Structure 1
């Protein structure tokens, strides 16, 4: 099993975890971070295999991952202050 197929398998497993285990917002944010890291590793692996030294895509994915992490952390802190927990079921459209 080569590295690219292993990374694709990890991406599929992370997506399944994100879709099934979504009780806590923190768990959802951690799986999104794992997906971002896997995509960055896949992009760099593919660029090395095709002899393209274009790492711009990896830098773009890392930048978007950092933005996603900061937005997620601010939402988590705001939600925890407002509701007292990070359970997703506590969110409703009526409380906004």
Structure 2
């Protein structure tokens, strides 16, 4: 009976050590790959930051245009200029007609 318990304990220990080794191996591989992921995402983050700057400028322009217009309910449709930055860095201007509020 003692040998059966000893064999079961030895098998459980071996299984536990195998699981810890596999987990450590996966963790080591991921730790090695992290710098590549960080450097790979830098360009995307720069592009997102440029897009956010453009959106902030559009918001400032829209707020300035909204403050300058009279506050009557019979306003005509207004023309709003949007600026956008493409991936290659060129700025695109587009003029849109905004309908009056109802």
| TM bracket (short chain) | 0.3 to 0.5
Comparing both structures, which one devotes a greater share of its residues to helix? 1
TM-score normalised per structure 2 = 0.35
Q: TM-score w.r.t. structure 1 length?
A: 0.37
Instruction: Looking at secondary structure, tell me which structure has more strand per residue.
Output: 2
